Chains A and B, each alone.
Chain A
Amino acid sequence: MRDLLWLVPVFPLAGFLVNGIVYLFSHRTRAAHPPADQPAAESSQAAGHPHAHVHLETRPRRKTLHTFVGTGSVALSCVFAFGAIFDLGIPALASGAHHVLNLWRWIPLGVNQATGQVPGPPGEWFVDMALRLDSLSALMIGFVTFVGFLIHVYSVGYMGHEAGYGRYFAYLNLFMFSMLTLVLASNFLVMFVGWEGVGLCSYLLIGYDYHKKFAADAGKKAFVVNRIGDFGFILGIFGVFALFGTLDFGQVFAAAASNPIAYAPWMTLVCLCLFLGAVGKSAQVPLHVWLPDAMAGPTPVSALIHAATMVTAGVYMVARCNVLFRLSPDSLLVVAVVGGFTALFAATIGLAQNDIKKVLAYSTVSQLGYMFLACGVGAFVAGMFHVLTHAFFKACLFLGSGSVIHALGGEQDLRRMGGLARKIPVTYATFLVATLAISGVPLLAGFFSKDAILAAVFEAHFPRAPWLPKLLWMAALFTAGLTAFYMFRLVSLAFYGTFRGTPEQDAHVHESPKSMTVPLVILAFLSIVGGWIGIPMLPGGDRIGRFLAPVVPALAGARPAEHAPAVSLEVALMAASVGIAMIGLLLAYLWYAKGDGGVPARLAARFPAVYRAVENKYFVDEAYDALFVEGLAKGGGRFLWEVDATVVDLIPNGAAAVTRGASWLSHFFDQYFVDGAVNGVADSLQGGFRLLRRAQTGRVQNYALVMGAGLFCIVAVYLIFR
């Protein structure tokens, strides 16, 4: 079974190919020939109106095919993933067993000669196409395939009426392939394959409604901003390759661990480059701008890609490279600061958003910041733990919001919702559970992972900035409160009070079909129990820490074992976080569910500048747009194009002008001086010979006569002068 590991990503790939090709070629014939069952008048109208065919639904049989291929391939992938995991055995994985599957030699680079600034071991350099199953990737493929499968099932209901049904499933399958490649990769470059692949799928899925400009714009923005991150990531990969002569995780980390002093000087640079990749992929400040815009994609996509799986790839990568990051305390410091700042920054923006998906998007950014904060203080396990729990409750929240949007016929504005709790009870219940989980209510999933992070931050130690951990801890604690507040604000606005939308919407509200509610229930269940694998204080708890230990040693380096915090301190910290979460919940409930939103409105009126800044996301988008898009890229491009057309083209055009000038001069000289002499002679001769021309009559007999006369003359002269 473990040798069939390659099938885990290949099933979705096959699904992508089947769905994609079937969709592509069947779609075209439909566009060219309107269905026969349409009346003639209608089809002629369809021909006149170019988009008419798009509104047609996919034919039932083809739709069934797409459904089965799309969800079936992911289901198979899930089965094979768990098969491989259980084949190795969870205890074995926890004790360090791993399985590397070398598929083929991918890029042979030949014999390296160390030629420049960066030292590297000489020898044969190559990159293999290889997969690796160890505890970390086992954790990832486990939840990626499972949550992925649930979201595929949910999509069957949610996307059922779309004409691009097949296209949607093709992209989603391609995403699963890329994501699984990313997490199963055995070396940096294969990881980069998945890394770019998920970026591409994100682009395609955000731009799923490509005919809407904002969706297409958002997709492009996501890809380009991700590319900035990838730019760092690939530089980091080059650094690793140049330093270690290999990209294989096992070899690189073993070498780094066995000879830390030699590699340490380079590690800050390499790790910061790698981290830039993570910043892009996981939407951290300053590259966070794409994720909120990415909400233009269909809601299940937001759940799968922009909450549960893809955006956590950055955290996964940092955790995977923890050996390298530990060699560079400075880079860990940067990770912690960026993570902590992003957590707080995004949470404040989340307070003032009115779009249900935007709130969740900023919440995601904020939670990702939490995960990086954990990694930054060396608590990689806590970070990964939060990745897992976050995947459950955030997927549940997004799918729940999708269900709300579905029920309201596409309405996303919180100001036009309200009182939905009674109308869509399943959605409400699951949404509430997930909200409590993310807020850190005790015994739910988010509580344990968030608590682990807060404790680790509190205990952290930065030699360069001893005051920093406490500051970060306060920020994180405050973020926890904000999270609870804006999440419960969302719940209050959507589910409590009275309905504020149009009467038509009110009449239309309905609970979603089973294919959507069943995944919601499962995810809500996981949001409750998902954290129980990481309970720190119980004996036999912290299973996740022990499971991941071979790849991600728990807190090593940051907190030596003998300085383990007292239980009383942990309890105190826990009480603080629970307390602030409760305050957040209560305030939100009082202000939005019980009250009429008057308190926050007065607050906003009191501090208009602050409110405007928060509401507009601190104007980061606008600043980037002016500075980088319009300024540096387009402005620079236009300027350089001008330069190209004038200055650079000066060389050939100047040469041409000089040549033309010189030719003109030569021509002038030629005409009046050289030609003058030549023509003078020619003209005088011409006049003389014009007379002689008369002799040429063209008549044979004239010539003969002249000849005869000549002969006569010669003979006469001969006879006379003999």
Chain B
Amino acid sequence: MTITINHFLVVSFLLFSIGLLGVLVRRNFLTVLMSVELMLNAVNLNLIAFSRRLSDLTGQVFSVFVITIAAGEAAIGLALTISLFRQRRTLNVEDANTMQG
């Protein structure tokens, strides 16, 4: 059995779905952040798979960018988490509702 692009896409889709679900339903800020990472990596997988399939390096280059940005995003996210914890003494996302209209 050869591994075709479809396999990659299915894995990627599953990963993304898990990530999205995590973002939507988990209450803990840290878990939400990790879920976002999952989604990003799903996208990376997708990009690389297509890059390989189309013999175009642009996809890989983009995945590198995404990794970089993910690192930054993680850093900022963690910083926000810490300051949120300092302010509220909790990591529950539901409590961070000061932007309510």
Contacts and interface: CB of A to CB of B under 8 A. Distances in A.
Interface in B22-71: 23-25, 32
B97 A697 contact: yes
B39 to A, nearest CB: 10
Given A699-B94, A700-B93, A708 B20 contact: yes
B97 A698 contact: yes
Interface in B64-101: 93-94, 96-101
Nearest to A690: B101
A609 interface: no
Nearest to A699: B97
B24 A701 contact: yes
A698 B98 contact: yes
B23 A701 contact: yes
B24 A708 contact: yes
A705 B24 contact: yes
A292 B93 CA distance: 101
Contacts of B93: 699-701
A602 interface: no
Given A699-B93, A699-B94, A704 B100 contact: no
Size range of the interface on B?
10 to 19
A699 to B, nearest CB: 5
Contacts of B100: 696-699
Interface string A686-722: 0000000111111111001100100000000000000
Contacts of B94: 699, 701
Contacts of B98: 698
Given A704-B23, A705-B24, A708-B20, A696 B96 contact: no
A698 B20 contact: no
Contacts of A701: 23-25, 32, 93-94
Given A700-B93, A701-B93, A695 B24 contact: no
A698 B32 CA distance: 16
Contacts of A704: 23-24
Contact of A698 (B23, B25, B101): B101
A694 B98 CA distance: 14
B96 A700 contact: yes
Nearest to B23: A704
Contacts of A693: 101
Contacts of B20: 708
Nearest to B35: A704
A693 B101 CA distance: 5
Contacts of A695: 101
Nearest to B98: A698
Contacts of B96: 698-700
Interface of A: 693-701, 704-705, 708
5 contacts: A698-B96, A698-B100, A701-B25, A701-B32, A705-B24
Query: Which 6 A-B pairs have CB atoms at the shortest separation, nearest pair first?
Result: A696-B101, A698-B100, A698-B97, A698-B99, A693-B101, A705-B24
Given A696-B100, A699-B93, A699-B100, 5 more contacts: A694-B101, A697-B97, A699-B97, A700-B32, A708-B24
